[in-house]
Amino acid sequence: LSELAEGALEQDAVLKNGESVNIYLNAGLSPRYEQQINVGVDGVGLYRTELPFMLHNGFPSEDEQKQLYREVLQLFSTKPVVLRTLDIGADKQLPYMPINEENPSLGWRGIRIMLDQPEIFLIQLRAMFRADQPLGNLRILLPMITSIDEVDDAIKLINRAKDEVSQLLKQPIRMPEIGVMLEVPSLLFLLPELKKRIDFISIGTNDFTQYLLAVDRNNTHVATLYDNLHPSVIRFLARVNEECRRLDLPISVCGEMAGQPVSAMVLIALGYRSLSMSGRSVPRMKYLIRQLDPNLTADLVPELLAAETSNGVRRVVGEFMEKNG
Ligand code: PEP
Ligand code: MG
């Protein structure tokens, strides 16, 4: 961490009007590094459980998984830790479970695999519940959700795993907060139904941008078309935030947008107050947040929403930054 960064890491993430922004860590691979960041974040907003799975030679056992999850829950024991259930398929392949498909981003991935292979899902969920005893800071996040049926089916399995662990440990176990990743645009129209079932939404802007714009996030031929600042992405994010506020459904952003200065500024202008990002982005984002006055960024919104092109969005942000230092 640079000198500026070290000071910035420990500062509060407070906007110029005193409003705070919650900063969470996207974690997964290096607990030692993540421990350094602990002091600077409000918790773990996204732990990608598939990352350790990708480094194993086969599916880690329930006990091995329990150890992995316990480590991160313990490291952040006074703060919430969001463990995302396995998000394999598409760009995240396990060498011991190859999936070959013509159209993998639209294929068998994430929650779809878990609901088709409930034994894999149940092992992971039991490991999460066991790791959480007696810490109690676990939250569970479901990736690649497109419909309410998937949420209901996943919650049934979560309840089953909870009951099994409760029987095993001969004690009642609390239900953790459950969240859904908004990665597929279909969920915009299902937020009221989600509100009845879950506790929070986390927007995965990496996949969300891919699915809204029909642009493969990893294909270099179309890399210039993959743009987080496309006007439709901006307008969509504005709508999602408004709708979640109306429903009183907590919302945060955990895609790369949340850790990059220009797009994070846009998110703050649109009203987002909870961002999850990689460790290296945390200090600079806290620094940026402390320079921002939400009364001024709010004035940007009509211009942002009126921008006709990605360059138009960039121009609005660029002019704002120039004017306000
Ligand atoms: C996302 O899609 O924005 C996200 C955070 O998940 P991942 O990058 O792991 O697909
Ligand atoms: Mg994703």
Candidate from 181, 240, 274 with most ligand 1 atoms within 8 A of CB, to mutate: 181
- CA of 83 from ligand 1 middle (Å) equals 13
Query: pLDDT, tens digit, for every residue of 175-219?
Result: 999 999 999 999 999 999 999 999 999 999 999 999 999 999 999
Q: Is the pLDDT of residue 256 over 70?
A: yes
The answer to whether ipTM exceeds 0.95 is yes
Handedness of CA 52, 58, 62, 63 (dihedral sign): negative
Query: What distances in angstroms separate CA 246 from CA 31, 243, 250, one per listed residue?
Result: 37, 5, 10
Cβ–Cβ < 8 Å for 68, 52: yes
The pLDDT, as a whole number, for residue 5 is 56
How large is the average pLDDT for residues 23-44? 88
- CA of 206 from ligand 1 middle (Å) equals 5
CA-nearest residue for atom 9, ligand 1, is 48
How large is the average pLDDT for residues 135-161? 98
DSSP state of 14: B
Please give the single-letter amino acid code of residue 66. K
- CA of 18 from ligand 1 middle (Å) equals 30
CA-nearest residue for atom 10, ligand 1, is 207
Please give the single-letter amino acid code of residue 143. P
Closest ligand 1 atom to Cα of 204: 3
Q: Is the pLDDT of residue 57 over 90?
A: yes
Alpha helix ranges (H) inside 214-277: 231-247, 261-270
Q: Is the pLDDT of residue 1 over 60?
A: no
Cβ–Cβ < 8 Å for 240, 205: no
Global pTM value = 0.96
Question: For ligand 1, which residues put their CB under 6 angstroms from it?
Answer: 46, 48, 87, 183, 204-207, 254-255
Residues contacting residue 122 through CB under 8 Å, at least 6 positions apart: 157, 160, 161, 164
Query: pLDDT, tens digit, for every residue of 276-309?
Result: 999 999 999 999 999 999 999 999 999 999 999 9
Q: At what angle do helices 148-169 and 118-132 cross, to 10 degrees?
A: 50
- CA of 72 from ligand 1 middle (Å) equals 19
Candidate from 26, 44, 48, 88 with most ligand 1 atoms within 8 A of CB, to mutate: 48
- CA of 254 from ligand 2 middle (Å) equals 9
- CA of 202 from ligand 1 middle (Å) equals 10
The pLDDT, as a whole number, for residue 9 is 86
The pLDDT, as a whole number, for residue 4 is 54
Q: Provide the mean pLDDT of the chain.
A: 95
Cα pseudo-dihedral 191, 211, 209, 283, rounded to 10: 70
Cβ–Cβ < 8 Å for 116, 108: yes
